[in-house]
């Protein structure tokens, strides 16, 4: 990897007006202290608070800062996708961070040092995350399940916090997937990748924008887009159901031949109906997830819509 000169800091935002002043201050300080040419691109993902208003005020006349304003909330992954699609040709690498400051932007020099050592992707590996024990346990189980069930190298405990080379950005922009899982796509494109351990900071202000539903959707995107586990699970559970049925049949035949009796009663019938109905409904649900993804993909709608832009501190017409 050649010497890196021009870096774009890409920051997706959704309802982050409370933390935006500190975020802007820390990025501004990073720019002034860095020997490299840094620029910042904010992506406002249809915020419903004062994020857009604050951005217009903070960025006015500041040539190092730009912003995209999406027409509605398309989601975190789509906001990153929009930012990557607007990377100019003079940029050597893109530094992706979250707008809540849990991923410290001051770690950029360490990411650059790693990348200049010969890597195309340097991703942050969360050593410590300020969340509840239950949430951390679920994250840990999920990442390990995903790693074991995919046919690509999926790093453990790594989010979207990363520094990616211009070449990787180019390849990511070629991928048309509608249900996007950025960290999975980043692994899928390949190239030389390495991790950088770090401690994740608590949110500086406000509440997390990832609800349980959003986290579940993110997890499903990882499993269904990069793993054969869900569809193979149907085969496994079908085989298990057959084994249960054969075992029950064997017990019935044994009792008939040895004792001259067979199991009677309503309970056994209900158990069999509930068991096999549940298996069928679960299988239909898993297949439905794949069909739903195909349904949205073949529509070929734009992944996002840009309402307006600020380029190098000046508002421009879209």
CB count, 10 Å around CB of 242?
Answer: 10
Query: What is the Cα 145 distance to its own chain's centre?
Result: 15
CB count, 10 Å around CB of 212?
Answer: 8
| CATH number for the domain running over 6-207+302-316 | 3.90.550.10
pLDDT above 90 as % of the chain:
18
Q: Is the CB of residue 60 less than 8 Å from the CB of residue 24?
A: no
Q: Write the pLDDT tens digit of every residue in 246-281.
A: 777 787 777 777 777 766 666 667 777 777 777 788
Relative to beta strand 121-128, strand 158-165 is antiparallel
Bridge partners (DSSP) listed for residue 314: 311
Q: Write the pLDDT tens digit of every residue in 19-60.
A: 888 889 999 999 988 888 999 999 998 888 888 888 888 888
Q: Looking at the predicted structure, is the pLDDT value of residue 208 above 70?
A: no
CB count, 10 Å around CB of 316?
Answer: 10
CB count, 10 Å around CB of 139?
Answer: 18
Of the two residues 224 and 164, the one the predictor is more confident about is 164
What is the DSSP-derived secondary structure letter of residue 116? Answer: T
Report residue 164's pLDDT band, with 50, 70 and 90 as the boundaries: very high
Query: What is the Cα 75 distance to its own chain's centre?
Result: 10
Of the two residues 132 and 138, the one the predictor is more confident about is 138
**Domain boundaries defined on the chain:** 6-207+302-316, 229-299
Residues in the chain: 318
- Two tokens, residue 110: 């360490």
Alpha-carbon distance of 106 to 112, in angstroms, equals 11
Averaging pLDDT over each range in 38-42, 60-64, 231-235, 313-317, which range is the top one? 38-42
pTM exceeds 0.75 for this model:
yes
Backbone angles phi, psi at 20, to 5 degrees: -60, -40
């Amino acid at each position: 990897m050649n010497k890196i000169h021009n870096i774009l800091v890409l920051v997706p935002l959704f309802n982050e007006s409370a933390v935006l002043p500190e975020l802007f201050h820390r990025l501004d300080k990073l720019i002034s202290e860095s020997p490299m040419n840094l620029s910042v691109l904010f992506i406002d993902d249809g915020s419903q608070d004062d994020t857009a208003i604050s951005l217009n005020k903070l960025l006015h006349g500041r040539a190092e800062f730009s912003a995209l304003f999406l027409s509605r909330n398309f989601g975190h992954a789509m906001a990153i996708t929009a930012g990557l699609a607007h990377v100019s040709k003079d940029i050597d690498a893109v530094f992706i961070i979250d707008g809540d400051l849990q991923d410290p932007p001051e770690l950029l020099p360490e990411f650059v040092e790693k990348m200049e050592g010969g890597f195309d992707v340097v991703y942050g590996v969360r050593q410590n995350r300020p969340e509840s024990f239950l949430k951390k346990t679920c994250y840990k189980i999920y990442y390990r399940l995903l790693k074991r069930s995919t046919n690509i190298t999926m790093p453990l405990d790594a989010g979207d916090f990363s520094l990616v080379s211009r070449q990787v950005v180019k390849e990511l922009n070629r991928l048309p997937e509608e249900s996007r899982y950025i960290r999975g796509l980043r692994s899928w494109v390949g190239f030389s990748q390495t991790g950088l351990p770090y401690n994740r900071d608590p949110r500086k202000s406000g509440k997390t924008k990832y609800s349980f539903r959003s986290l579940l959707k993110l997890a499903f995107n990882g499993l269904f887009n990069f793993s054969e586990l869900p569809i193979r699970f149907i085969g496994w559970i079908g085989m298990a159901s057959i084994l249960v049925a054969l075992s029950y049949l064997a017990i019935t035949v044994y009792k008939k031949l040895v004792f001259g009796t067979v199991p009677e009663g309503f309970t056994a019938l209900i158990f069999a109906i509930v068991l096999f109905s549940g298996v069928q409904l679960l299988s239909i649900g898993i297949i439905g997830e794949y069909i739903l993804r195909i349904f949205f993909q073949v529509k070929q709608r734009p992944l996002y819509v840009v309402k307006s832009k600020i380029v190098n501190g000046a508002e421009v017409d879209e």
